[in-house]
Amino acid sequence: MILLPDDLRATLRANAAASLAAQARDADFDPVPVLKLFNPLGAGTWLATELLADGDTLFGLADLGFGCPELGNFSLSEIARVRLPFGLAIERDLTFETPHALSVWAGTARRAGSILWAETLLSRGQEEVR
């Protein structure tokens, strides 16, 4: 499976450019995640909003299943190299869409202890109060 098709790559790069422009103006930038990667055999989940100029570094919310989702950078190539039992690998959620900004995801995931539980809460309309 292609983890990052061209259309998502372009959207993530555009978000990175918009983020830099916002920083230059001292403005807030809080996009919605456009990419969800997950471990089909575990709790590892990544939500990305930006792809940096190197073409490998993603920015977003990462949850490795230890109860403390964190905002930060992560490497697409490292995620792509992960090999799981039964010949499986990290996958892209082909149906992922969200109306919620990254800050909402981060607050809800921290409160819930995982991105997976945050997804349940957000789908029920129980988002984190900012």
The pLDDT tens digits of the residues spanning 41-90 come to 998 999 999 999 999 999 999 999 999 999 999 999 999 999 999 999 99
Tell me the CA distances in angstroms from 70 to 25, 38, 52, 75, 109, one per residue in order.
Answer: 25, 15, 18, 14, 9
The pTM of the full predicted model, rounded to 2 decimals, is 0.93
